[in-house]
Structure 1
Amino acid sequence: MHLSARLQRGFTLIELATTAAVAGVTLTVAVPGGLHLLEDSVLSAEVNRFVAHFNFARSEAVKRGTEIVLCPSRAGADCERGSDWSDGFLIYADRDGDGARDEEDTILRHVHPDDGRARIRSRSASRWRVVFQPSGTTGGTNGSHAFCATHGSADARAVIVSNTGRVRVAERYSDGALPDCV
């Protein structure tokens, strides 16, 4: 029995193999680019959250008329000297302006990034904290932090706090060097 051409429908094995090969090549090219885009947007969200905390501290310094300090802190009670901010940081009002966290100082926020999606490192271990003056400035020289994804290939960002108190995000530090979280 011979079926007419009108009743025969479907794809040949060669057509199916060709379609599968084209789909495979397309996915091979598209998926890594899509993953990089996702990693980049996650890192951007984390950086924006970090910058928002700095802007909060600056506005509180002006509003309260006192120094506001940001410093690395895991537990949220005291500052920890060092350049690693990844395990958390503290924002407090330094009422007596002595630069040390005392009982009379008011803790405004303890930020504890619990998702582990980013590493945050101060560029200079000697500038382990940021102090906003009542005028909104930080004094001294620019302070810089490297912001890197813990997984994936998203590009690192530099969070730069100028001595005027302005916080900005850049692909490179002010001197042109790339941010490094090692």
Structure 2
Amino acid sequence: MQNHAGMNTHELQRGFTLVELVTAIAILAVLVALAAPSAVQAWNQAAAQRAYHAMSSSLALARVQAVSRGHAVTVCPSLNGTSCIVGGTDWSQGWIVYLDPSRSPQPKSTSDVIEMVPDLAPEISLRTSAGRHRIRYQPSGWAAGSNLRLTLCIRSTGVMHGSILLSNAGRTRVERAAAETSCSA
């Protein structure tokens, strides 16, 4: 069929029908629904790895600084990056590493702070037991006191991801949690 300009009208009609668009959108919705849970799981896994790395790096830094400087170095939870939380067991909000030659519960000045780590991703919880609120490395490299377990949990699922274990000798190791271990984060 031709119009008054001599063009075929069937050639001018381009695009998709409503049925084709609805079908494409339905397929896309199914694919997104299938991918979303694994994307959230991957995001949580990456956030947990960053938390493990940040804490392990801070503990290694504190130990090296204590040995090389010949003075105690302390790691403690901190909200503001300049002072320790008194009696704090929640490390999710950040922590500081500071020079501590006088074995003080707080840094003497901001210049004593060697490292400040800001809060972790909101989906991560990092806690210690109530018994030990700070980690003090001696010039020998030892972290005297009791052995320490920092438990890492995924808040949205309530599942424990694992722990960072610190021995009195000052050594750290990461321990993965058994599958579906619940956590009181």
TM-score by length of 2: 0.71
RMSD after superposition: 3.7
* Residue in structure 1 matching 2:89, options 57, 63, 83: 83
Partner of residue 127, structure 1: 132
Query: Cα offset for 1:28?
Result: 1.1
In 2, Cα distance between equivalents of 1:26 and 1:177 = 26
Pair member with larger Rg: 2
Partner of residue 142, structure 1: 147
Check if 1:71 corresponds to 2:76: yes
Partner of residue 180, structure 1: 183
Partner of residue 27, structure 2: 22
TM-score by length of 1: 0.72
Secondary structure of the residue that 1:120 maps to in structure 2? Answer: strand
Partner of residue 44, structure 1: 49
Determine if contact 2:94/2:120 at 8 Å carries over to the other structure: no
Partner of residue 108, structure 1: 113
Q: Which runs of 5+ in 1 are unaligned?
A: none
Q: Which runs of 5+ in 2 are unaligned?
A: 3-10
Equivalent AA in structure 1 for residue 70 of structure 2:
G
In 2, Cα distance between equivalents of 1:116 and 1:45 = 9
